Structure 1
């Protein structure tokens, strides 16, 4: 696997993903019971936007850079920008938090986080980021295999009835990645049906995703929600025109939160005419 997220950190896809992740975490922490989070493709946890990798693509300028400049008025966007500022106060003005850092930032002392990263160099950096945080376990292993090993989550005598599994694969196998991800989700839901699950996916041509949508709707979740953002028309299979999040068993009112966020992101991060977003139920809650 050759993918390195350092080239893409802070881009429009990260903005959507990380706003969503923080909204999910805030729903978890609204109740006092301890929660568990698993990040299956964690990366290095922390990125430098002034690095050669980030500068080579310049993608962060069209994502977090533009959002900071525009600062649309919405509590979920303000929450995300506040987390980015907290990261920069701790790690420097050019830093950008990956999803593991955001999970650790948003969750509480009684919560537990497991992160998985297959690439040794990235996993080593991830361990460095969390060396002093006893809540976070770093596993140098395949994230899909970890779902089988770590779900349902328990630590000693503690069993976690609430939590989040974030699946953010690199899609190096392109559409074939959906086969692997959907199979992993089906198995995970059988193991831990009360968990919430979030699968990130790229959008090139939306019509190529129709089979994914149909198959996702058959997963044994109580409800399934799509949250998508396109920064340009989906008229080219050669570039990522947008991205989405498939949310299984999402918390109450997350659809309303994201329905307010997505149009603001489409306006702020548009790269061409035709930018848009949508929040649609695949399976509505009973």
Structure 2
């Protein structure tokens, strides 16, 4: 109940997560039939990077703050939906405002699509409801995201995405995420599920991925971005474990992640992982040295 994403908004993990979220939503928009999005730990939806929380940590400077310069011709088109959402958010709410996952979903929903945003924190949930409940195809629920997940799937739509992005404040949260993902895949076998996770200790992450995979390993895509060498203490990277991934996502992530690893690297180190079944070490890419990176 203490986690507030406003302190971390726009950091390297947000850039990775939101760029890939936009790619998944673009894929869902590729068919005419409506889809459903469930965001189980939604936060407040958008964040002021000039606000007191973001200004206290300045994490965004080593994340979205490094994204202004365009990438090459293979990567930049893949970032276009993400950049367009950022532009629309800034045009509507101010040049220092960064969109969280609910704002990205809202911008990429079509009129016939539906979304449910869930938030447990009472203050954040109230802000989220004020910002999104008036949107005709979005519903905000103020409750525990893990409890909501079981009640919200399967939806009436056969297609859709569940974004699971818990704060990982409590012991055993990774194990719980693995268990809930396996259960969710059984309950909605045609849905796409994306679980975000922080990377500090790689051994812990390997255990999480193994537990989440089970008999469903062939339907999982493991995507990771490392901006520092994991030492078991500090946040060195983040991952997105995607069940039933769009067929285009592996190829797109294979272009996006190395570019982000190079751009967002700390202390001359960046690495990425994009894999389905095989377990291989992340490939290292050398990025620019960033003195005192956040």
TM-score normalised per structure 2: 0.91
Q: 1:219 to 1:136 in 2, by over 3 A?
A: farther
TM superposition shift of 1:64: 0.5
Q: 1:221 to 1:238 in 2, by over 3 A?
A: closer
Secondary structure of the 1:277 match is strand
Aligned to 2:235: 240
Q: Does 1:216 align with 2:212?
A: yes
Corresponding residue SS for 1:27: helix
CA contact (8 A) 2:181 2:212 kept: no
Q: Does 1:72 align with 2:71?
A: yes
Alignment of 1:1-286 (within 5 A): 1-68=1-68, 70-73=69-72, 74=75, 75-153=77-155, 159-174=156-171, 176-218=172-214, 220=216, 223-234=219-230, 236-282=231-277
Q: Give the TM-score taking structure 1 as reference length.
A: 0.93
Inter-partner Cα distance in structure 2 for 1:46 and 1:219: 37
- SS of corresponding position for 2:277: strand
Which residue is equivalent to 2:289? none
Give 1:156's aligned residue. none
Q: Can you list the C-alpha shifts for 1:11-54, whole angstroms capped at 9, x where unaligned?
A: 00000000111000000010000000000000000110001100
Q: Using the alignment, how far apart are the partners of 1:129 and 1:113 within structure 2?
A: 14
Structure with more contact order per residue of length (Cα contacts < 8 Å, sep ≥ 6): 1
How far residue 221 of structure 1 moved from its aligned partner, in angstroms, is 6.6
Task: Mark the runs of 5 or more structure 1 residues left unpaired by the alignment.
Answer: 154-158
- Aligned residue-pair number: 276
Q: Kindly tell me: are residues 210 and 222 of structure 1, through their superposed partners in 2, closer, same or farther at Cα, counting changes over 3 Å?
A: closer
